[in-house]
């Protein structure tokens, strides 16, 4: 790649940049990122589901509590669910160490609005905010 | 902009090399955006360096570009399963996700 405008190297103005890391705008950017995340998931013992490669799960049978964990990822937006709160924290902490993350509340995920009823076991998904956009 | 450039250096995004003969360097440009608060106030100015990847040729400059994304059915299924098992849930967003990836894998293909 050419040297970025305004930051040309004074000693080597004719040199170019050999890209080692991903940059926005490349054809392969999205795939490279997905590969990186996939590697991370495997390190955490999360396996991709056969039904959808963006859903990872682990079923820790050895663990006395039989911890189940699911993770969904849409490019850079993810959800994690686990039967064990500590495990959930673990994953988020590790993600933050490796990639830097911002945590949101569970109210909104890739265009879906998520309403969790105070009554346990009830989740309501809707896309109410799209209605004004289309009418 | 200086911050973004500094992070590229810190990240070891690239190294300086002479251009191999007969090859062309990808152009790049700075994209500037102003982020507004919902109230209309300026939140911050944002600069991002993007490569003009459209000049690249498949099979020569890069190979695979396919990338899976989650199906909405799967998202709903995740919610259902997490509900059934009474799981704790969290949502997260990875900052400048793309910049974390290496461009080359061990085989040197991109």
Mean pLDDT of A76-85: 88
DSSP H or E run through A102: strand A101-104
At A98-135, the pLDDT tens digits run 888 888 778 888 888 888 888 877 888 888 877 877 76
Supply A9's token pair.
């190297």
A67: left (phi over 0), alpha (psi -120 to 50) or beta: beta
pLDDT at res. B57: 67
pLDDT at res. B58: 65
Task: Find residues 8-47 of chain B whose CB sits inside 8 Å of chain A.
Answer: 8, 11-19, 25-30
Q: Give the list of residues 6+ apart from residue A18 with CB closer than 8 angstroms, or none.
A: B14, B15, B16, B17
The pLDDT confidence band at residue A66, using thresholds 50, 70 and 90, is confident
CB of B70 less than 8 A from some CB of A: yes
Among partner residues B11, B62, B78, which is closest to A27 by beta-carbon distance? Answer: B62
At A12-50, the pLDDT tens digits run 777 888 888 888 777 778 888 888 888 888 888 889 999
Q: Tell me the mean pLDDT per 10 residues along chain B, length 110.
A: 74 78 79 75 77 69 77 90 87 82 58
CA angle A20, A23, A27 (to 5 degrees): 100
Per-residue pLDDT for A58 more than 70?
yes
pLDDT at res. B110: 47
Q: What is the nearest CA distance from B97 to chain A, expressed in angstroms?
A: 6
Q: Are B70 and B24 in contact (CB under 8 A)?
A: no
Q: What is the ipTM of this complex?
A: 0.77
| Whole-number Å distance between alpha carbons of B82 and B76 | 10
3-class SS of residue A56: strand
């Amino acid at each position: 790649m050419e040297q970025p405008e305004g930051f040309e190297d004074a000693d080597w103005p004719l040199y170019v940049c050999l890209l080692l890391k991903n940059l926005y705008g490349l054809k392969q950017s999205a795939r490279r990122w997905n590969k990186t995340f996939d590697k991370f998931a495997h390190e955490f013992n999360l396996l991709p589901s056969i039904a959808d490669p963006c859903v990872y799960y682990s079923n820790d049978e050895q663990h006395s509590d039989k911890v189940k964990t699911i993770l969904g990822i849409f490019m850079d937006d993810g959800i994690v669910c686990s039967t064990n709160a500590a495990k959930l924290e673990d994953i988020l902490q590790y993600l933050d160490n490796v990639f830097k993350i911002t945590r949101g509340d569970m109210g909104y995920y890739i265009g879906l609005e998520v309403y969790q009823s105070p009554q346990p076991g009830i989740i309501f998904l809707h896309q109410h905010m799209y209605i004004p956009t289309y009418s | 902009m200086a911050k973004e450039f500094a992070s590229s250096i810190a990240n070891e995004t690239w190294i300086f090399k002479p251009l191999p003969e007969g090859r062309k360097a990808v152009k790049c440009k700075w994209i500037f955006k102003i982020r507004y608060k919902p109230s209309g106030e300026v939140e911050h100015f944002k600069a991002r360096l993007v490569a003009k990847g459209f000049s690249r040729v498949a099979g020569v400059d890069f190979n695979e570009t396919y990338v899976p994304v989650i199906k909405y059915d799967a998202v709903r299924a995740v919610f259902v399963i997490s509900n059934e098992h009474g799981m704790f849930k969290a949502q997260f967003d990875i900052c400048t996700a793309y910049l974390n990836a290496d461009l080359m894998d061990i085989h040197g293909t991109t």
